[in-house]
Structure 1
Amino acid sequence: MGVINEVEEVTKNNTRLQLIVAVGYSGKYDVLQACRGIAQRVKDGESKTSGELRVSNFLLWQLAYTKIFFAQELWPDFGRNGFVEALMSFQQRQRRFGGRKS
């Protein structure tokens, strides 16, 4: 028996108090399951990366209000020029935290 079912059973005759439970859903479990499925398909040779520049629902709760820079170089080749390009890109952005530009 699950915890919720057990609490309902134990308190079913209570009449004086009302318990309201609010549950936050972040999608973390769904992302974890998706990652495990993708990893298994890659391991089995059934899936490859698309090469597109997008997050595809990956880590959405961590990416809220995140500014992303996609470098053209792969990580081993990323150096001073790429770093300066990223810094310049970020300098041109305005942090609005979801609000409209004023």
Structure 2
Amino acid sequence: MTQSLLKEKLPRHLAIIMDGNGRWAEKRSLDRVEGHRKGAESVRTIVRAAREIGVPYLTLFAFSSENWNRPRPEVDALMILLKNYLTSELQEMLDREIRLLAVGELSRLPKEVQTTLHETMKKTAHCQGMTLTLALSYGGRDDILQAIRRLMVHCQDQSLRPQEITEDFFSKFLWTANLPDPDLLIRTSGEMRISNFLLWQLAYAEIYFTPTLWPDFSKEEFIRALLSYQNRERRFGLTSEQIRAEGG
């Protein structure tokens, strides 16, 4: 199946909303935390698959700003899982040349998680095989708001005319400033919405929805999502005729 993928048509940046851990557990009469543990195994599988296939940038929606409103025991368990993941996967990242980044309101994370996160990012900073970004305590509206606030501070320090504030200029103030915009978004669990994830950045992304719950999301389905993406015509507001005329 991997052989059917065209290297030149892979998404440069792939983002995933990893949804369905809780429902996976509930269907099996298990505690929701067990669903998150199983979901962590899928993270390992898909990160490894993305690296092997040659996706340069992979961003995972690991914990939203709204997730803080979940029951305290579940939030605490998620933070422990995150810390354990970072610790256990560090050598894997180094061996596979995977650089780790994180975006979001990271200061809200527990101090010990922040420490482990920053240590992992520092230790993998030299890796050039793939960039794995974890969206943690992240919300798309929060991202845009903090960018506006930072932009206002910048404008107070610099003499800028309104017309100088372009899309590219504004993007430099987003948490994702060092990343290209996603080409493909995958969402598992059958929900058909983007749930406040990368609202600015997903403007022209293709979207692949699957009813599969995240703990059941396999390498095979991951490849099917990539094949679906490769069979689409990305227009960016142009007509099919214009795309063909440009050789696209």
TM-score, normalised via structure 1 length: 0.44
* Greater percentage in helix: 2
* Greater percentage in strand: 2
Which has the bigger relative contact order, CA under 8 A and spacing at least 6?
Answer: 2
